[in-house]
Chains A and B, each alone.
Chain A
């Protein structure tokens, strides 16, 4: 995590690892692509739509009649990408284009490998460059190329005979997440081994981790409150299910803990106790990692452990308002 005086940020990648079901129309189109064949679909008015859609864009009628199309056509419009992005299908400059295949009445989007921008023009003829291996995805078309370009690829046949009903469609998006102002202050404190919350100027409740607002009153929170290491179990669960990527071996206890002086719980682990002894109202204390391992994270606290103090009454947990000064 990068830290400047105020701003804390961290790059992360979100993955949406979806498999999508295609339905019969898209599935048929992708099956044809896998066989290096183009198919459109006949619309209510007899026009041929490309790529095929399930329902007519105007009449909304279900469409069923596929039409074989050649793998060449005309560029209707295009733009030039001089600096491709990492996610783009080509790492050298290329054109996005709306290409109307011969016999189709609507253009489809794909990319054209024309080498340089001067080789592109509206109305130019292009043809499909099939991928050497096909999978039943839009990428089976390895871009279009100008008609005159000779294609020398070694096209491996695809022997699959099943009709495609699903497709892998993983999506990965990378972000640089920035902690909010209140969160950043909280993380700077925890890096120094201190738990610091914020007090609502209105209802006087203390929140940790703070969010910069009182969710109940809808007002900004500014006043900082240094809290100690002792807490009370507000609720808990014993986890028996192994969670992928989680190094902790089940069964273990996760608890909602309310720090002394705070009014809202947070989640943390409970350890150094028998799982079956854990109960609501139990008094616990933070066990910190060695100082040299402290970072900008709640994991600076390894877990909470029971302490020898009488249980707190359920009605009092998180309800005590310490007026502060």
Chain B
């Protein structure tokens, strides 16, 4: 596998409601920012562009096509889209570079979830015969997963609250975060149940926003003369849609993806894990075999702000920027999709 360099990353604020900003107006500022970082003018200066978004979130058909208006696609560019988190757009672009079909790529993800009732919208991504007709929402499955772990003694409610408290504490130093506070775990346990056994703070917030990234071959990064972090491994796996057949107390797909991406072949200074619910961070830490020496979610993670379809790519960007700034030498980024961590992507990043 050839090394791929991350040379630029930008993200918008996580906002509960972006109001009068359409997809183009959400995307354009982060694109301008990554162009500036990489020293290029627009999408014409890269070989490939790939985005991640889901039109169901905002209820606007072909919003993902409208988003192309932000790019400057005249003359025509090579462009692709995944109806997934933009972390999977990164995977597609990484493959393009592996195949020698591109030397550089622009990636972006955007999500405007505020116009709809997000948990109900997400219920329709489930099995269309057995689950979607019941309108069982995304929070319910996470809550049942948490209870499985609480019942077995694998975790306690305090463990969950500690994840939340650390997330919000860390978010204090993240200007893009939506939820931040200096409260402690014990006081979180005084909060009422939301969907028992989950309290509201165990669930990620609903956020609007966007992020963008530029990747390229190491040779190209040297040519551009920009600092960069290197993708050493990337892999993604999915579990069955028959949710009763899954062991919800583990994330088998993350375990396999983590091994394939080479997480264990060196110390992990920092990890950004896409855990939309507090207990899932504990599952993911275990699945990736991370020790207590690894700093987990220094940004606050998605419990502090969750732009669906962008936050997975932002996990990669967060780790990359820490490596570029010299704060870490080696890190792991994780992205997820589907109920109870059904599909997972793991990226291993290193300093050049």
Contact = CB atoms under 8 A, between A and B. Distances in A.
Interface residues of A, number: 65
A30 interface: yes
A179 interface: yes
A7 to B, nearest CB: 5
Nearest to B17: A178
B72 A214 contact: yes
Interface stretch (A168-176, A295-303, A316-324): A168-176
A109 B72 contact: no
A180 B204 CA distance: 26
A26 B131 CA distance: 12
A82 B193 contact: yes
B130 A57 contact: no
Given A138-B134, A212-B25, A87 B120 contact: yes
Interface string A214-242: 11111110000000000000000000000
Nearest to B23: A180
A84 B193 CA distance: 14
Interface in B222-270: 240, 242-245, 248
Interface string B70-83: 11111000000000
A214 B59 CA distance: 24
B43 interface: yes
B290 to A, nearest CB: 26
A138 B130 contact: yes
B42 A218 contact: yes
Given A49-B242, A78-B147, A173 B71 contact: no
Interface stretch (B111-119, B298-306, B308-316, B326-334): B111-119
Contacts of B115: 175-178
A210 B102 CA distance: 33
A119 interface: no
Given A14-B59, A85-B119, A173-B56, A211 B20 contact: no
Nearest to A51: B130
A85 B144 CA distance: 17
Interface string B122-144: 01100011111111110010011
Interface of A: 6-8, 12, 14, 20, 22, 26, 30, 49-51, 53, 57, 76-82, 85, 87-89, 96-98, 100, 106-111, 117, 122, 137-139, 167, 169, 171, 173-184, 211-220
11 contacts: A6-B19, A79-B140, A79-B196, A81-B195, A96-B136, A111-B134, A111-B136, A169-B129, A213-B70, A215-B71, A218-B71
Given A80-B193, A96-B136, A96-B144, 13 more contacts: A12-B59, A77-B248, A79-B143, A79-B144, A89-B135, A98-B144, A139-B134, A177-B58, A179-B22, A181-B21, A182-B25, A183-B22, A213-B70
